[in-house]
Amino acid sequence: MKRYLAEHPSIEANAFPPYAPELNPVDLVWAYVKWSRLANYCPYDLTELRATLDKEFIRLKRRPDLLESFLAHTGLSLGP
C-alpha cells in the first residue's frame, strides 16, 4: 500500500484507529437494523434470518436519505 501511495501522490490517505465504529457508516447501518428494525426479533433458523436481513437491506437501498444520514453522522464525506 505504501508503495502504491508513493507512486500516486494525488491520493491522500488518512490513518484511522484500528477500531473506530463511530467513523464507519456500515456500523451505523448494522446498529439501525439490529436495534431499531429487528429489535426483539427471533428467527426460527439462519435461513429465516438471512431472508429477513436481505429484505431489510433492500428496504435501506430505497432510503438514500437514511444512508446519507449515517455517513453525515461520522463527520466524513465522499467529496474532496
What pLDDT digit, counting tens, does each position of 24-38 carry?
Answer: 888 999 999 999 889
Residues 6 or more apart whose CB falls under 8 angstroms from that of 80 comprise: none
First to last CA, the chain: 20
Domain boundary assignment for the chain: 19-74
Q: What is the DSSP secondary structure assignment for residue 62, as one 8-state letter?
A: T
Q: Return d(Cα 69, Cα 25) in angstroms, integer.
A: 9
Is the pTM here over 0.75, yes or no?
no
- Compute the residue count for the chain: 80
Over residues 15-72, the pLDDT tens digits come to: 777 888 888 888 999 999 999 889 999 999 999 999 999 999 999 999 999 999 999 9
